[in-house]
Structure 1
Amino acid sequence: MRPAAAVNCVAIVLAGLLLAVGTGAAMAGPLQVQTLSYQGPGRNGIAVDAHPITMPFVRSPDPAVAARINDLLFIARHRALSPRRPGQTFGAADGIAVDGQLSEHFEVLRNDGRILSLVFEGEGCGAYCEDFRQAYAFDARTGLLFTAENVVTPAGWRQLDARMRRESIRLYRAQLATLAQELKQARQTASVGDISDTQERIAFNQACLQAREADTATAHAAPHRVPETDRYRFEFGPSAITFVAGRCSNHALRALDDVDSVRVSLPYAAAGAMLTPYARAVLAGRPATPPEAVFGQLLRGSLSAAGSADLAVTMLLNRLDDGSLAGTYFYGHIRQPIDLSGAPQGAGIRLTEDAGDTSRPRHMKPVFTLSRSADGLAGTWTGERTLGVRLHP
């Protein structure tokens, strides 16, 4: 190669690198994800050995990003802030108990410097024990959680809702056809037990099919209505995003629900038109400004009063299916969870501490009165005195 050509080649390469950096196309490396194992008593005080419980602990070149991810995951999974100085384990010393868990493990679905996607599976117990699967995905640059609102557009949710209903109807019709054949065979063999069981399954699947068909009729009657996105979950994989609709059955009838959850996977190219500009930018490795959101995101901030030192707080606040609000917050120097419940109130929200605590009347419990601010929530906390509040993702 001649010297002039070599110089031009180098210049082109350097220009390309500068363009990549300037447009955000240059990718950061994957985040470090360490596995921590739980040590301590489990359900009913029995040590967790046979059914291990593990949690991820994320490290990033930006400690604030790692802390945002770790605290959200530990609050969501175990109502506790993440360990300050993790070794190989976590447990009571970190303020964490797992009384409602029999087992829990996680898998990293995607970790490429753009998106960190994890899924948790295990068995949890409340009034009864049941398997679970729960996914979380984060913007690896900022540590912000992907939610229904910042991943899919309203028009995209209408398309997805229709597609999920069609898939659900297809699966239930196929299951009913299979059960009809099984019932025919059971009658030929005169198996009374098989006949009764299959008839129960047919009745259940028919009821689920009718419910999905009724949902479709309702959607057709209001084509511009945005569906309730809380009924769906999503998982970011290496090459596709998978949307999941919860099963038709409750716990008591789960044994009859052969269809179970409905899953539809879309390659990112096929899903692109449904995704928000923010989600598309993150997937492409471009800098992106997330939509303003407080529900489901980890919030940091402070309670303050004139002449007093600010009290650092961390909060996670979720909107429930019925529109009410529930959450947990922590004082940084105490690190003990304080439960919150409440509801939207006009243009703001009102949250009461420890609503389930019956030792004090509700009107005597501390209350947050908050409204949306430019970067999160602002307002007051009123207990024995009144303090100013500022919270932001």
Structure 2
Amino acid sequence: MKGSLSGVALMLLSVGASATQLQISNIDYLYPDSTITQYRLPWFSSPDNPIAAKRINDHLFSTFIFHLPGKDPQATLNQLAKTEHGMEGIETLDYHVQYLGKNILAIDILGEWCGAYCEAYTEPVVFDLSTGYRVTLEQIITNNGMDTLATKVRKDISDKISTFVAQQKALPAEKQRDEDGVIMDYEAFYAECLARTKNPDFTDYTDRYSLNEKNITFLNGRCSNHANQALDDLGDFQTPLPVSSLNEMLTPYGKTLLTNEPRQRTAPLPGLSDRVLYGTLGKNTRIVLNVSCQRSYIQGAYFYEKYGAAIGLSGKCSPENTQHYELTTSSNEAPAEKIVLDLKEGRYQGNWQSGGKTLPVQFD
């Protein structure tokens, strides 16, 4: 059988006032008739905090292979990999644990996605070990701090581009020529990218961050499109900043996670985005929700626990308003579904509508 579930490490982590055992195992799927791994995902288990471990696993599976792991995650991965459209577009998957601290787990998902062409990507994810929820930058950094970080990252990328262009222009003409004898105009090549770094309203540069014990690192893609990738000598951008430099920018929840100061644990504000939520549809049908609000649009899916397949959802959202959401299915193959949710008494509650039928829905 292709794929194996093998124990990798047993680590003792301090979460809050108690010690938590977090075991990390591999779930692997090999290329057909090969010993080379095509898909590899982590699997977390914890005898002390099984709910947090389950939420982390469900988040990774539902986000990156669009399916819940079910009772046997290895069998789920095997089945999806062998099905014609089960892993459609996902050429490879791997992971790297960046950091395991007393409060957080930081992991990078490494993959290759293929559509009209293939692109490699790295998607960093940070989890709160006490809850298993994903930790977004907006939860741990104040609004003013977000502006400060965006400015720092813009300046870093701007400086890297400007320095590189100046260095190339300073070279003798013969060293500026490529193998075809053409002088590359790097100033024009990076002009659009450089212009974005001068725009204070362009905040995308802080969308993706990775974390370890010493640094928070903002990850940004290259300036070029796929067709011009070979000409882009700068490639992807990484902007590391010391975690210690964030102290004045941290929210109370951020201080709970990232400082060693003894303090009462503070929870993040309620929200729907980037959190795996467990709920009930109708009387007792268990469902799972995983959606993300980016700018003014929300995308993601909900899943029936019994079946595990993703049912795509989309809608409008606002980072400033986490009280009300209206989500609709994005598939044209079935009657449209609509989920309306309001935050009441700390939980999202509302109704599910489809084909003239309405059922109550609520999330724990």
Fold agreement, TM-score > 0.5: yes
Residue 158 of structure 2: SS of its match in structure 1?
helix
Q: Quick one: which of 337, 348, 352 aligns to 1:377?
A: 348
Q: Quick one: which of 236, 245, 254 aligns to 1:279?
A: 254
5+ residue gaps, structure 2, are 1-13
1:312 matched to 2:283: no
Matches within 5 A, 1:7-18: none
**AA at the equivalent of 1:151:** I
Please tell me whether the aligned partners of residues 35 and 56 of structure 1 are also in contact (alpha carbons under 8 angstroms): yes
Q: Distance in 2 between matches of 1:146 and 1:206?
A: 34
Q: Distance in 2 between matches of 1:110 and 1:191?
A: 41
Aligned to 1:57: 43
Aligned CA distance change for structure 1 residues 68 and 166 (closer, same or farther; 3 Å): same
Residue 31 of structure 1: SS of its match in structure 2?
strand
Aligned CA distance change for structure 1 residues 344 and 162 (closer, same or farther; 3 Å): closer
Once the 2 structures are TM-superposed, how far is the Cα of residue 114 of structure 1 from its aligned partner?
1.4
Aligned CA distance change for structure 1 residues 366 and 59 (closer, same or farther; 3 Å): same
Aligned to 1:295: 273
Aligned CA distance change for structure 1 residues 99 and 267 (closer, same or farther; 3 Å): same
Please tell me whether the aligned partners of residues 150 and 276 of structure 1 are also in contact (alpha carbons under 8 angstroms): yes
Q: Which has the higher helix share?
A: 1
1:135 matched to 2:106: no
Once the 2 structures are TM-superposed, how far is the Cα of residue 349 of structure 1 from its aligned partner?
2.4
Q: Distance in 2 between matches of 1:324 and 1:77?
A: 19
Runs of 4+ in 1 over 6 A off after TM superposition: 93-96
Aligned to 2:8: none
Matches within 5 A, 1:1-393: 26=17, 28-29=19-20, 31-38=22-29, 50-60=36-46, 61-86=48-73, 90-92=77-79, 97-182=86-171, 184-186=173-175, 193-196=180-183, 198-199=184-185, 201-213=186-198, 215-216=199-200, 228=203, 232-284=207-259, 286=263, 287-304=265-282, 309-321=283-295, 323-344=296-317, 348-353=324-329, 355-357=330-332, 359=333, 364-384=335-355, 385-392=357-364
Once the 2 structures are TM-superposed, how far is the Cα of residue 339 of structure 1 from its aligned partner?
1.1
Once the 2 structures are TM-superposed, how far is the Cα of residue 191 of structure 1 from its aligned partner?
6.4
Q: Which has the higher strand share?
A: 2
Q: Deviations over 1:225-245 (max 9, x none)?
A: xx6457521111122211223
Which moved further from structure 2: 27-36 or 50-59?
Answer: 27-36
Once the 2 structures are TM-superposed, how far is the Cα of residue 49 of structure 1 from its aligned partner?
5.3
Please tell me whether the aligned partners of residues 81 and 335 of structure 1 are also in contact (alpha carbons under 8 angstroms): yes
Please tell me whether the aligned partners of residues 95 and 336 of structure 1 are also in contact (alpha carbons under 8 angstroms): no
Q: Distance in 2 between matches of 1:94 and 1:192?
A: 42
Please tell me whether the aligned partners of residues 150 and 206 of structure 2 are also in contact (alpha carbons under 8 angstroms): no
Please tell me whether the aligned partners of residues 342 and 351 of structure 1 are also in contact (alpha carbons under 8 angstroms): yes
Please tell me whether the aligned partners of residues 242 and 263 of structure 1 are also in contact (alpha carbons under 8 angstroms): yes
**AA at the equivalent of 2:237:** V
Residue 371 of structure 1: SS of its match in structure 2?
strand
Please tell me whether the aligned partners of residues 206 and 218 of structure 2 are also in contact (alpha carbons under 8 angstroms): no
Please tell me whether the aligned partners of residues 367 and 382 of structure 1 are also in contact (alpha carbons under 8 angstroms): yes
Q: Distance in 2 between matches of 1:326 and 1:254?
A: 28
Aligned CA distance change for structure 1 residues 208 and 332 (closer, same or farther; 3 Å): closer
**AA at the equivalent of 1:348:** H
Once the 2 structures are TM-superposed, how far is the Cα of residue 125 of structure 1 from its aligned partner?
0.9
Please tell me whether the aligned partners of residues 67 and 310 of structure 2 are also in contact (alpha carbons under 8 angstroms): yes
Residue 77 of structure 2: SS of its match in structure 1?
strand
The size of the alignment, in residue pairs, is 341
Once the 2 structures are TM-superposed, how far is the Cα of residue 269 of structure 1 from its aligned partner?
1.5
Once the 2 structures are TM-superposed, how far is the Cα of residue 160 of structure 1 from its aligned partner?
0.6
Residue 317 of structure 1: SS of its match in structure 2?
strand
Please tell me whether the aligned partners of residues 176 and 206 of structure 1 are also in contact (alpha carbons under 8 angstroms): no
Please tell me whether the aligned partners of residues 242 and 265 of structure 1 are also in contact (alpha carbons under 8 angstroms): yes
Please tell me whether the aligned partners of residues 246 and 262 of structure 1 are also in contact (alpha carbons under 8 angstroms): yes
Q: Distance in 2 between matches of 1:254 and 1:192?
A: 17
Aligned to 1:12: none
Q: Distance in 2 between matches of 1:191 and 1:33?
A: 48
- The normalised TM-score by structure 1 is 0.78
Aligned CA distance change for structure 1 residues 274 and 63 (closer, same or farther; 3 Å): same
Residue 208 of structure 2: SS of its match in structure 1?
strand
**AA at the equivalent of 1:243:** F
CA RMSD in angstroms, aligned pairs only: 2.9
Q: Distance in 2 between matches of 1:193 and 1:271?
A: 48
Q: Distance in 2 between matches of 1:257 and 1:191?
A: 13
Once the 2 structures are TM-superposed, how far is the Cα of residue 310 of structure 1 from its aligned partner?
1.6
Q: Distance in 2 between matches of 1:333 and 1:89?
A: 13
**AA at the equivalent of 1:390:** Q
Once the 2 structures are TM-superposed, how far is the Cα of residue 84 of structure 1 from its aligned partner?
1.4
Please tell me whether the aligned partners of residues 69 and 308 of structure 2 are also in contact (alpha carbons under 8 angstroms): no
- The normalised TM-score by structure 2 is 0.83
Q: Distance in 1 between matches of 2:314 and 2:190?
A: 36
